[in-house]
Amino acid sequence: MLIAIYAIREAEKWNCYLSLDMRVDLQWWYGRMRKADERAGTPLLVLLSSRVPLGWAVEIQARFQPIPDMDRWVKSDWQRFMYQALNPFLLQEPESSRSKWSVLLQGIQVMDGSYLSSLIEKGVVMEWEELVQQAELLIECMAGRALLAGEVEALLGEVAVGTGDWRTAAQLGVLLGRLRLEAGLAQPAPRGRPGWLRRRAMAPRCRRCGSEAKSRTACAACGSAACAYCEACLAMGRSRACALLLHGTAGSAVRGTAGGSPTTALGRWGLSAAQSAAAGAALRFLAEPPAGGSAVTAARFLIWAVTGAGKTEMIFPLLQSILDAGGRVLVAAPRRDVVLELAPRLSKAFPEETVVTLYGGSPDRWKRGSITLATTHQLLRFRGAFDLVVIDEIDAFPYHNDPMLDYAAKGACKPGGKYIYLSATPPTPLQREAAAGRLPHAKVPARFHGYPLPVPKKLKMFAVSRCLQEKKLPPLLVRSLSASLRRGAQVFLFVSRIKHIDPILELLRKAIATMPIEGTSSIDPERAGKVMSFRNREIRLLVTTTILERGVTVPKSDVFILDADSELFDEAALIQMAGRAGRSKDDPAGRVVFAAPQWTRCQSSAVRQIKAMNRIAGKGGYLRQVQEVMGK
pLDDT in tens, 54-92: 998 999 999 999 988 898 898 889 988 988 888 888 887
pLDDT tier at 521, thresholds 50, 70, 90: very high
Contact between 335 and 551 (Cβ < 8 Å) = yes
Whole-number pLDDT of residue 257: 72
Residue 533: count other Cβ atoms within 10 Å of its Cβ.
17
For residues 345 and 334, give the distance between their C-alpha atoms in angstroms, rounded to a whole number: 17
Residue 203 has pLDDT above 50, yes or no: yes
Go through the domains of the chain in sequence order and give each one's CATH number: 2-136 (no CATH), 262-444 (3.40.50.300), 457-630 (3.40.50.300)
Give kind and range of the element (H or E) at residue 130.
helix 128-142
SS3 category, 17: strand
* Pairing mode, strands 109-111 and 44-53: antiparallel
Contact between 204 and 185 (Cβ < 8 Å) = yes
Label residue 401 exposed, middle or buried (CB < 10 Å: 0-12, 13-18, 19+).
Answer: exposed
Cross-strand bridge partners of residue 322: none
Residue 524 has pLDDT above 70, yes or no: yes
Residue 51 has pLDDT above 90, yes or no: no
Residue 495 has pLDDT above 50, yes or no: yes
For residues 502 and 534, give the distance between their C-alpha atoms in angstroms, rounded to a whole number: 17
Whole-number pLDDT of residue 626: 44
Residue 467 has pLDDT above 80, yes or no: yes
Q: What is the pLDDT of residues 120-166, one digit of tens each?
A: 555 556 688 888 989 999 999 999 999 999 999 999 888 765 556 89
Contact between 187 and 204 (Cβ < 8 Å) = yes
Q: Is the pTM of this model over 0.75?
A: yes
Lowest mean pLDDT among 172-186, 291-305, 412-426, 504-518: 291-305
Amino acid identity for residue 183 in this structure? A
For residues 548 and 491, give the distance between their C-alpha atoms in angstroms, rounded to a whole number: 12
Contact between 188 and 59 (Cβ < 8 Å) = yes
How big, in percent rounded to 5, are the helix, strand and coil portions of the chain?
45, 20, 35
Amino acid identity for residue 616 in this structure? I
Residue 15: count other Cβ atoms within 10 Å of its Cβ.
14
| Mean pLDDT (the chain, rounded) | 86
Alpha helices in 400-451 (DSSP H): 403-412, 428-435
Alpha helices in 497-595 (DSSP H): 501-511, 527-535, 571-578
| pLDDT, average across residues 343-367 | 92
